[in-house]
Amino acid sequence: MDPALIDGYLRRLGTERPGRPTADVLRELHLRHLRTVPFENLSLHLGEEIVLAEERLLEKIVDRRRGGFCYELNGAFAVLLRALGFEVALLAARTYGKEGLLGVPYDHLALRVGTADGGDWLADVGFGAHSHGPLAIGERGEQRDPGGVFRVTEAGADAADVRGPGGPAGSEDLVVLCDGTPQYRLELRPRALGDFRIGAWWHGTSPDSHFGRSLVCSRLTGQGGRITLGGRRLTLTAPDGEKEAVDLTSDAEVLEVYRERFGIALDRVPEVRERSVARERAGTNL
């Protein structure tokens, strides 16, 4: 990978090349990523193509200073980590939805990261509100994090009575929980970036995907809270969970928030795709 792109990536995160790929370095990069590169699905509603190729992901994040959703954020983060000497495997996961039902295969992309000091970590900068730091993938007890109390447990059998293909040692799928609530079921078999194209396509086209029905742009704040622009509603979440929301009334306000609070310069306000398609079909202003 072009060293200039990697250096540009690090500049966006506000840091320099580390000396060794240690667990402490991974924690710092993970937190900086969550604070500076927003979780956003704007491309789906701006008519922009999402291409799961390493060069395109880095171009979007480094040159265009955009964010993305899990495939883009964790896909790009994997490239950065490998360039810095970390061992990285892409893992497929299925998120838990309403009534505990699992999403489609390749629903989510997360990372397994090995460090020079013997660490084995689950890194995830593409799940929205989640852990601020990487989780020890082999730890089965509570892992306290500013984002909540996390646990990584063996999954057991799924709805098809399958425990999962597992990794090289034949281990079962894992479930990641936050404050006791299952977040996603994680497969340990390493995958290639191209494997996730079916998940990205589904989330970009299916009426059952919440990404196609809503706009979101969100990142951690330096104080440990969160700032989120959902459509035209700006929500500030304090570290203690208290929320303050305001509805933006003009396109100029929306574009200013994208620019000033997320570093994203747009020439027009994104519009939810389904609403935009309905307008085209009707030929009217909805």
Kindly state the tokens that stand for 204: 């970009």
Q: What is the pTM of this model?
A: 0.91
Rounded CA gap, 221 and 237, in Å?
9
pLDDT tens digits for 83-100?
Answer: 999 999 999 999 998 878
The pLDDT assigned to 158 comes to 66
| Cα atoms in the Cβ-side hemisphere of radius 13 Å centred on 139 | 15
Q: Which residues contact 104 (CB under 8 A, 6 or more apart)?
A: 94, 199, 202
> pLDDT tens digits for 248-281?
999 999 999 999 999 999 999 999 966 443 344 3
The predicted pLDDT at position 211 comes to 86
Q: What is the pLDDT of residue 99?
A: 79
Q: Which two tokens stand for residue 15?
A: 């840091």
What pLDDT is recorded for position 274?
Answer: 60
- Please write the tens of the pLDDT for every residue from 53-94: 999 999 999 999 999 999 999 999 999 999 999 999 999 999
Low-confidence ranges of the chain (pLDDT < 70): 157-171, 273-286
pLDDT at 97: 87
pLDDT score, position 157: 66
Q: How does strand 148-154 pair with strand 143-145?
A: antiparallel
pLDDT at 219: 97
